[in-house]
A and B are shown apart, each in its own frame.
Chain A
Amino acid sequence: MPASEADPPAMIRLEELTKYYPGSDEPAVDAVTMDIPEGEIVVLVGPSGCGKTTTLKMINRIVEPTSGRISLEGEDVTDVDPDRLRRRIGYVIQQVGLFPHRTIAQNIATVPRLLGWDKERITERVDELLELVGMDPATYGPRYPKELSGGQRQRVGVARAMAADPPVMLMDEPFGAIDPITRDRLQNEFLRLQQEIEKTIVFVTHDIDEAIKMGDRIAIFGNDHRIQQYASPEMLLSNPINEFVDAFTGTGASLKRLNLTRVRDVALSDWPTAASDSPREELQRRLAETEHSFLLLLDRQQRPLRWISERDLARSDWTHHGGLKVRAVVEPHVTLHNALDEMLTSNVGVATVVDERGAYQGVVDIDTVMTAVNAMRAETRERVRVAPWHGVTASDVADATESRA
C-alpha cells in the first residue's frame, strides 16, 4: 500500500464541502476538504451520523452540497447536470437496488443504454462483466434478481456500476448486509478485481476492520462531522492524531496492523527439519543438536508431515508415524494476522509456511511477528518525518506519541 511521497494525481477533489439539511442548525458535513488520488481505494469511516455517507452522496450529487466545490478529473462538477455526471460515476449501495422486473443482463446494461450504446456492444460488455465478477453469462444473464442469492446480487450490483467503465466508483457500505463469511469472500474478490481495473473508489463503511482491509487511505470522520485524520491504514494505526481516532481504531490497533503485512513480506524463522525416512538414531542426533524440542519431518517433496519430540523418539514402539500431525500450515500470501491466528492453534506454537506446491519454506513464530511489528513501527515513523501530508505533521505525531506515553 503505497503512501508515497509523490501522490498520484487527484481524481476527485473536495473543497470545503459542507451540507446543512433543511431545518437543522448543525451541519451534516462540515467543511470537508480532501483529495482522492487516482486508482486508489479511499475509505470514509466513522460512527453513525458522522457525515461519511452524506459526503459520498455529495460526490454524485444525490445530495446537493450547501457550499463547497467538487472536482472530478480536474473539472469542476459542482454545477453540471447531475444526471450526466452520474453516468460517469459508478454507484453501489448496500441494498444493491437491482431492478426486480429486469433480468440480470438488463440490469447491468442500464448505464450503457442510457449512454446510447448499440445493442451488440452492450451484449458484449454485459457478458464480459458477468465473467469478471465470476458469474456465467449464459446462466445468470437471463435470470431475475429474485432468483439470485444475496452475494450474487451484490456482485451484479458491482458489475452494473462498472458497466460503462467509469473512472470512479462510489460504494456505500456495499458489503454491509451480507453474512460475515460471504462478506470476507466478496471483499477479497473485490480487492483482486481492483488490481485489474484500478478504479478510483470511494468506499463508505462503519467497520474499521473493513476500512483497514480495503483502504489504500482512510478518512476517519468524527462526531463533529469533520475529517479527523486522513492517512494510510499504517499511519492511522501507528500514529492516531487524536484521542478520537485512537479510540475509533480500537484497542486492538497493533493486532490490526498485522493485517497489513503478508507472510511473504517478512523474514521467516528456520526450524530444524529432517527427512521422514531417516533412521531413528539420526533423528535423535539432529534433535540433540538443536535448542528446539521438536523436529519437523518432511516427505520427499519437502512437504511437512509431523512434529516429533525426544519422547516420541524414545518410545519403544517408535514408527515414522509417531509424533504430532502438522497443523497450522499457511501459504505466503496470507496476512500475518492469519498466521498468528494459526500459530496460536498449532501444537508447537509456530505456523508452518509452505509454497503453493506445499513444500516447506520456514516458520512464523512469535519472534517473526515481533520483528515485523517493530519494523512497521519504525518505517511509519520514518515516513512521517520525511513526508508529512494531509495535515499530519511530524509535530502532531510527536504530540500524539507523547500524550500516549
Chain B
Amino acid sequence: MSSSSAGTPGIGGAPPSTDTGVTARERLRVLLRDPARLWQYFGIPIVVAVAITLTVSYVSGQELIGREERSLDTDLLTALALQHVRLGLTVVFWVLVIAIPLGVLLTRPWAKPYAPAFIGVANAGQAIPSFGLMVLFAIWLGTGETAAVAATVAYCILPVLRNTMVGLNQVDPSIIEAARGMGMTKRGVLLQIELPLSVPVMLAGVRTALILAIGTITLGALIGAGTVGRTINSGIISFSDPVLVTGAVAAASLALLVDWAAGIIEDFVRPKGL
C-alpha cells in the first residue's frame, strides 16, 4: 500500500528552488505546483468526507433496533475512533523507539554480522498472521490495550527497522569519509550527516508502519482493546449491515486520514537539498 510512497518524487519533482527562505509557506507553494501533490493534499480528505456523508445518509435511512442504535451512538463512535488513533500512535511511538536505535546499531561496522539475526526475528514478527500474534500476546499479557499494542508493535517493527538500515547504508561513503576527514566525531557524523541523509527512506518506513498499525490495531477489538474494530465486530455478531458498514467505513477513513497526514508531514520534514 504505502510502499509506493517511497517512490513518489520529493521536492525534486518541482523545479529546483534556489531560494533558501525556508518558510513553510514558500515550501508549500512549490509543492502545490505539482498536480499529483495537489491531489494528494486535497483529494484524500474529499474522498473521506464523501464516504462519511454517504454512510451517514445510508444509516439514517435505516430502521434501527435498540442494539444497533447503541452501537451507532455518536459519542461511542467518537470515543472508539479516538481510542483507535491513540493506540495506533502509541504503537508507532514504540516502534520508533525500538526500531530506529536498533537500525542504527545494526549498521555500525562492528555489528554487521548480527544484522541478519535481528532482521530474521523482525521478519518472523511480520510473517505470523496478525490475528495469531494478537491471540499469543493476549495469552501472555492478558486481554486489553497492552496486549493489542504489544502485538501490533511486534508486527510493525520490520518496515521501520529495514528502512532505517537501508537508509543508513545508502549514504554515500565518500560523504562520510569527507566528514570524518574534517574531524567530525563518529557521533557527529551519525547525528548530523548519516541520519538526516537517511530521513527520506526512514520516513517511508515509518509511514508504512503507521498504516500497518492503524489497520492491525483494528483486530485489537477481538482481545478487548476497543477501537473501531469493536463496531465492525458488533456488526458481524448482530448481522447488522448499518453497523458493519459504519465500522468498516470508519476504519478505512481513519487509515486514509492518518496516511494523508503522514504524507504531508513527510513533505515538510524531509531535508532540503536531497
Contacts and interface: CB of A to CB of B under 8 A. Distances in A.
Nearest to A161: B182
Interface of B: 16, 18-20, 172, 174-185, 188, 193, 196-197, 271-274
A99 B16 CA distance: 17
B143 to A, nearest CB: 46
Contacts of A83: 183-185
Contact of B273 (A97, A146, A160): A146
A102 B273 contact: yes
B179 A101 contact: no
11 contacts: A62-B181, A82-B183, A83-B184, A84-B183, A86-B180, A97-B176, A97-B179, A99-B193, A100-B274, A101-B273, A101-B274
Given A97-B172, A100-B197, A145-B273, A86 B16 contact: no
Contacts of B177: 62, 93, 97
Given A95-B174, A146-B16, A147-B16, A101 B181 contact: no
Contacts of B20: 103, 142
B178 A114 contact: no
Given A91-B178, A93-B174, A114-B182, 20 more contacts: A60-B181, A82-B183, A91-B182, A93-B177, A96-B174, A97-B172, A97-B174, A97-B176, A97-B178, A99-B175, A99-B178, A101-B196, A101-B197, A101-B272, A101-B274, A110-B182, A110-B184, A143-B18, A146-B273, A157-B178
A64 to B, nearest CB: 13
A98 interface: yes
Q: Which of B179, B183, B271 has the most CB of A within 10 A?
A: B183
Nearest to B185: A83
Nearest to B175: A97
A143 B17 CA distance: 9
A145 B179 CA distance: 15
Contact of A144 (B175, B193, B272): B272
A98 B16 contact: no
Nearest to A90: B182
A111 B272 contact: no
A135 interface: no
A203 to B, nearest CB: 15
A85 interface: yes
Contacts of B172: 95, 97
Contacts of B188: 114
B181 A86 contact: yes
Q: Which of B172, B180, B273 has the most CB of A within 10 A?
A: B273
A170 B183 CA distance: 13
Given A101-B271, A144-B273, A146-B273, A96 B178 contact: yes
A374 to B, nearest CB: 45
Contact of A98 (B178, B181, B274): B178
A87 interface: yes
Nearest to B186: A83
B180 A62 contact: yes
A389 to B, nearest CB: 31
Given A147-B16, A147-B18, A87 B196 contact: no
A161 B181 CA distance: 10
A203 B184 CA distance: 22
B8 to A, nearest CB: 18
Contacts of B185: 83
B130 to A, nearest CB: 36
Q: Which of A84, A85, A144 has the most CB of B within 10 A?
A: A144
Contacts of B184: 83, 110, 114
Contact of A86 (B18, B174, B182, B196): B182
